[in-house]
Structures are given as C-alpha cells and as structure tokens.
Amino acid sequence: MAICCTPVSDIIVCAAADDTAAEAAERSIPEAPVTDAPLVAEALTARPSEGEACGAAIKKPGIDTGAPTLAYMGWCMAAPTLIYQHAFPLAKKRSPARMAWLATHLALCVLAGLPQVAQRIAPALSVVLGALDAGDSRAAASAYLELTASNFAGWLLLFLGVFHSGLDLAAEATRFADREVYKRAQAWWDAATLRQFWGLWNKLAHHWLLRTVCTPAASLR
C-alpha cells in the first residue's frame, strides 16, 4: 500500500488557487440589467404592512407598459396618487367602517373650520384693512394678532380634514393601497421638528425621482 504524502504548503497553495479562480469566475458573470422599470417601481410601492393599515391585503396589479387609458387616468385623478406611474398597488376590498369614520372626521373638521373662517378670520381681516386705511397702527396690530391666532386654528382644522381624512377617504374609496405618503408611523404632518418635517416631506419627491427618473435611466445602460 502506497502512502501519498502531500506537503501542507502545496495544499494551501492549491486552496488559494481555487479561491482565486472562483472569485474570477464570479467577477466574469455580468450583472443582470434592469429591464422592467415599472416592475421595479411596483416593488417599491407594494408593502403588505401598509396595505393592511387600510383594512385589506395588497393585491399587485398587472404591469401595463403601454399608453395609459382614459379610465386609468381618471382613476389617477380620483385617487390621492399625487404622481403618475404605470401601476399602483390596490387593496382587495374597501372597508365601510373606516370610510364612515374618515367621512365623519372630515365633516367635523370642515364644520369646525368654516365657522372659524366666517366668524373670526373674515371680521378680523376687515378690521385690519380698515385700520390700515385709517392709519391707526395700534388697532391694526391688535386685529392682526387676533387674525393670526384665528388663521392658525382654522388652517390646522382644514389642513387635517383635507390632507388627512379627505385623502385617506379617497384612497379607501378607490382602493389605493400605496401608503408611502400617508403611513401612520411617519406622517409628515405630525413631524415634531422642522428637520423631521423637511425629511418626511421630501420622501415623496425622492420616491418619485427613483420611480420616474432613476429606475428608467438605469434600464437604458
């Protein structure tokens, strides 16, 4: 029986050569180019956890890379998309209970905000303009302070009603399930600091550029 003795140094050299060859083979494999920009855009928007927030699971729509139809453009006008793309994630069904709550919240905000505008903001604005015409700076400053407080309260009520309840109600009615802008955990209207507000608000522009500009540009290389 012959015993084959291989030096340890030869084994190490052979193993290193095999590793080098494997690394070279991996580097020689070309990366797969991005050929379906709408599919990547759909992957960016389809988030099951966000779809579950509206009371239904996500259903991925078909990718349509052709010319948009009038029906789809009309749906984009009704849904709170804010931006256009070929496809959006859709919820499987609507939640009547959530729609009723959002409609009630919207009505309460409007009913509280409109009297604020009619009974406090409009009269204070008339007083400010009258005092400025009469040259009474003290009365104008006093009325302006009252106008500022009333305007801020009315703005908050109407802003909350339209941009929170109204857009969420439109999303629920049209089964629009992309909650990138309207997610509860990081809502830009609930930002505590100016830096947080700016970062959350620019997230929409970031995702729009990623879907509309960066991803299609990457598919052209």
Query: How confident is the model at residue 15, as a pLDDT?
Result: 43
Give per-residue pLDDT as tens, 5-54: 444 444 334 444 444 444 444 444 333 333 334 433 443 344 433 333 33
Q: Measure CA of the first residue to CA of the last residue in the chain; give whole Å.
A: 61
Task: Give the bridge partners for 91, in sequence order.
Answer: 58
Q: Report, as an integer, the average pLDDT of 80-104.
A: 85
Amino acid identity, position 80:
P
97: pLDDT strictly greater than 90: yes
Write out the two tokens for 151. 């305007």
CA distance 44 to 102: 27
Give per-residue pLDDT as tens, 184-193: 545 666 677 8
145: pLDDT strictly greater than 70: yes
58-62, 100-104, 135-139, 149-153: which is most confident: 100-104
Look at 128 and 5; give whichever has higher pLDDT.
128
What's the pTM value of the predicted model, to 2 decimals? 0.53
Write out the two tokens for 155. 């703005």
| Residues 6+ away with beta carbon under 8 Å from 88 | 45, 61, 79, 81, 176, 177, 178
Give 181's pLDDT tier (boundaries 50, 70, 90): low
Q: Report, as an integer, the average pLDDT of 198-205.
A: 73
Alpha helices in the chain (DSSP H): 8-28, 37-45, 48-53, 70-78, 96-116, 122-134, 137-159, 167-173, 194-209, 215-218
| Residues 6+ away with beta carbon under 8 Å from 37 | 211, 215, 216, 218, 219
Look at 22 and 131; give whichever has higher pLDDT.
131
